Amino acid sequence: MYADQKKQKVSQAETGTEEPEALHLMQLHGVDDNINKSNTTGGRCLAVNVADHVMHTDPMNVLDEAVVPIGDVLTPNASKAFDDHMLASVYVLAREQAKELKIREPEKWALLRMEAVKLGWWGEQSLMVRRVPVGVEDVIKEFDKDNHLTLGFGPMSDDCLKLCCLVPFIAELSFRVYGSAYQGDGKQDYVARAKKLATKTQWEDQLNYLDEDLLFGNSLKWIDVRRPMEVLKNEPVVSSVPNVFISRKTASAGVASITTSLAVIDSMIQSGWWGSLKEICGFEEDAIREVSKRIHRDPWRYHLKSSEYGVMPLNVAETELLEKARTQVYKCAFALQAYMDSIIQGTHLGNAKSIRKMAFQNYMGYQRLMNFFRGVRQAKLKTLSGGAGNSGGGGGAGSSNPT
């Protein structure tokens, strides 16, 4: 009976009528479900069968056992889940697909996708159906032939290894902090951020490996944002993950006003300003402090689209505490922003924009505190430069309620 089912499925694959579930997911061989969607079965799988006459399927070879533990991603242990024939199959099929899509230098596209699989960007949600291009009898020989014709994949492989440590985390960080992917009008900003991040790793030259639309849009599209999150959450984070992403793993879209507020409050405490302002204005910070601590511990749960990460949503109590923290931020935002725009102006924290809109809801209070803080700063600068130290009216502002 199984043999009959196999023949039926092979026949369906050859005619392009195979069920979507049988094609799902084969991400590493695909481009992305936005490319040539008309050539995918039902538009649900990636563009693996971008031209059914070029590829066929052996449904017997469903390789769902090839799972890489999170702790092994980006380590030499990851490759233990795959044999040479499997990796060569990934390469050859991706190369043929690139040719179908008229991608320049299809060998580079194919090698990047193969190296990504080899490094473990492949998890429990993944299902691989092995596909071999028609006319290819030995995928390992095909891989070796390309390796010889390109005078060795060595330098290209090095670029791919670095890109596999960059591109998935760039995508995750962009989504987590800015709530955006590489698409539409946001492409230019996305690339600008990607270049800044790559520069901090000294791998900016690797971003020229492929065209931007391919590199950021489709080359590693199957990875999505969950797998990089799991790598960042795993302790200890593997050494292959660049520090620029580790240092930014606490940021999250939608709650930056809370974490920024706490950072400013702590700066004001060190400067000696927070205590008096808190007393005069009736500010509170307990919820801000507690929620900030929780965000730093697990920023993905506090993301506006946390469901994309597959994490548990906030419960009722957590949601209520979050709203309390936002209320506290709203009340003191004008004072914090005034401090940011005067005392710590020009610093990384002083340049943050997350509470500016809320601060200007009490623009009069903001302006009065701005004048006060500017006077204090000017007096301090005069004192440091050996001047008379006259602050020019700062004292009066400090003796009354700034609101």
Whole-angstrom distance, CA of residue 327 vs CA of residue 333: 10
15, 29 contact by CB (below 8 A): no
What's the confidence (pLDDT) of residue 89?
86
The full set of domain ranges for the chain reads 2-154, 163-241, 256-398
What's the confidence (pLDDT) of residue 150?
67
What's the confidence (pLDDT) of residue 97?
85
Spans of the chain below 70 pLDDT: 1-66, 123-136, 150-152, 380-403
What's the confidence (pLDDT) of residue 49?
29
What's the confidence (pLDDT) of residue 1?
33
Please return the burial class of 10, using the count of CB atoms within 10 Å of its CB with bins 0-12, 13-18 and 19+. Answer: middle
What's the confidence (pLDDT) of residue 135?
61
CB atoms closer than 10 angstroms to residue 114: 26
What's the confidence (pLDDT) of residue 386?
60
Whole-angstrom distance, CA of residue 285 vs CA of residue 68: 43
CA–CA distances in Å: residue 140 to residues 59, 91, 132, 146: 21, 9, 12, 10
What's the confidence (pLDDT) of residue 279?
94
Query: Whole-prediction pTM value?
Result: 0.76
* DSSP structure string for 323-389: HHHHHHHHHHHHHHHHHHTTTTTTSTTTT--TTHHHHGGGHHHHHHHHHHHHHHHHHHHHHHTT---
What's the confidence (pLDDT) of residue 86?
83
